[in-house]
Structure 1
């Protein structure tokens, strides 16, 4: 049986894909560029090409790497391979939206747990994301802070070190994320209890997120942050 929500002091969160709709952001920006060029594109095809380009050996830190990614995928989508459009995709990050349920769910969860952001995005991008999410985090870790990206265990180890500095341990953490590849599999390997937010439950495939070598059955599973927050509230001890 998975440990229940009251057993944890910290909820650690993936941000991009779990709380922020990066797929919607990418598709919207590429559609705008396509419209300017007088063509239309298939959004899911674009995400597949993005995924393939994003995880190449010469990838840079996210989201700066979106400029390189755009130049790689534009010809395959029939888009103009011009630097100004590559910069437009990168800069669109500032306007990417949070999922409709993210901010309210985080506000509710922050009443009972310490929320920690763990994102492969750089600090400048997280600054934009935090504002959209209502600045709910007790602590934040970015690729700039850790010098690496999930699923590298070293990213998680820095969070464990921070938690240990507060007199707690990884046993006090429930890790919440949508990416099987970046988060759910590695969190299991590191001995964390995890919660999978299956954002693409109504869609086929992995979209813009790399496909894992093997599926990891999560300890907890929800298809939205709203459902997760509701379950936490429902199952925590009632105050009298």
Structure 2
């Protein structure tokens, strides 16, 4: 049985895909390049190709790796495989938007919990993402800070060590994320309580996120950050 929200001191968040709409960011950039070069592309096809290319051996850290990814997928989409377009896709991360409900939900949740960002993105990208989200985080961890990417348990251990330095433990954390592969499965394996934000509930497939080998039933499940924040709000009201 899931614990009450008031039992947690920290809410840890995946950022890209949970709070920042990276799929629209990527497809909008590719659509812009396509329009300029007289090509039409299918967004879901582009995301499927992106997903395959992103997880090829030897991939660089995100979103720097988007420059390489573009050169891999461009020929398959009928786009020009020129370096300048790869750089453009990489740099588009600086203008990716948060989901419409992200900033408001985080602002509300920050009133009752300490929020921690856990992102596979590099620090330069998180600096931009935080501005879109109105800087709600108590602490942040990036691939630059951890030297690894989720679902590597070592990434999570960095966060455990941080909360431990404050006299707390992983039992004080509720991990919130949309990726079954990067977050929900591994958080369960690490005996964390988790919350799945199913951003693609109205769409088929996994979009730009790698498909997990096994689906993990989460402790909490919501279709949006707005729904999650509302549930926390109501839960806390019941305790007062």
* TM-score class, shorter: over 0.9
Distance 2:20 2:162 in 1: 24
SS in 1 for 2:117: strand
Normalising by structure 1, we get a TM-score of 0.99
Unaligned runs of 5+ in 2: none
Distance 1:104 1:71 in 2: 37
Unaligned runs of 5+ in 1: none
Q: Which residue of 1 aligns with 2:56?
A: 56
Q: Which residue of 2 aligns with 1:207?
A: 207
Q: Which residue of 2 aligns with 1:27?
A: 27
Please state if 1:97 is matched with 2:104: no
Distance 1:237 1:150 in 2: 34
Distance 1:218 1:161 in 2: 24
Distance 2:37 2:82 in 1: 12
1:128-167 correspondence to structure 2 within 5 Å: 128-167=128-167
Aligned length: 240
Distance 2:146 2:227 in 1: 31
Distance 2:79 2:60 in 1: 22
Distance 2:70 2:51 in 1: 11
Distance 1:199 1:238 in 2: 27
Extract structure 1 runs of 4+ deviating beyond 3 A: 237-240
Q: CA RMSD in A?
A: 0.8
Distance 2:239 2:26 in 1: 44
